[in-house]
A = this chain, B = another copy of it.
Amino acid sequence: MTSAKSTDVQPTGDPLEPVSCGPLPCTGGRLRKLTRRMTSFYEQHLRAIGLKLSQYSVLMNLSTEPQTLLQLADRLEMDRTTLTRSLKPLVDQGWVAEVAGDDARRRLLVLTASGHRFRKQAQQVWCDAQLALETQLGRDFTADLNAQLDRALSQLKPALPEEN
């Protein structure tokens, strides 16, 4: 062993290099577990109208204005290709349509008339689910949780794709 002066009494761990890592809880694991339960909770309600939670968020985010795939993906912060496939059942149901944009590359996604009607209905159901959730978790706790999630989102920015 090297000599240890009184200012050097922690030979096994530099406090800035915080110990070896036994008891650290996995934040990601917790989050994934809670997300499974939470999604299940919402979808118990949404099942009545045959909608997934992710589809609901697509309908809501399309309800204000037509957007291209990339714009919508950015807004939802979903992978572009995930969104492509999530849209398919909505297009098949006739709730979302693709119209040509001024640029032949991009197609604008728009809510159809029946899409707007369905979105209203879905919003009612979602609202019931959200209220049920807040009843179960408690108003104040839900608000706190939302705030924590927002704060985490603002501090954990998405990784930039590597430049190739």
Contacts and interface: CB of A to CB of B under 8 A. Distances in A.
Interface of A: 18, 20-21, 24-42, 44, 53-54, 57, 76-78, 123-124, 126-127, 130-131, 133-134, 136-138, 141-142, 144-146, 148-153, 155-159
Contacts of A35: 28, 31-32, 35
Contacts of A131: 18, 21, 24
Contacts of A76: 33
A130 B31 contact: no
B130 A24 contact: yes
A21 B153 contact: no
A53 B29 contact: yes
Given A41-B159, A127-B21, A131-B18, A152 B53 contact: no
Count of chain copies: 2
Contacts of A137: 152, 155-156
A149 B34 contact: yes
Q: Please provide the 10 A-B residue pairs with the shortest distance between their CB atoms, ordered closest to farther.
A: A21-B127, A30-B149, A35-B35, A28-B42, A28-B38, A24-B130, A31-B35, A148-B148, A31-B38, A29-B57
Given A36-B77, A137-B155, 10 more contacts: A28-B35, A30-B146, A30-B150, A31-B31, A36-B78, A37-B77, A40-B158, A44-B159, A136-B156, A141-B152
A139 B24 CA distance: 11
A77 to B, nearest CB: 6
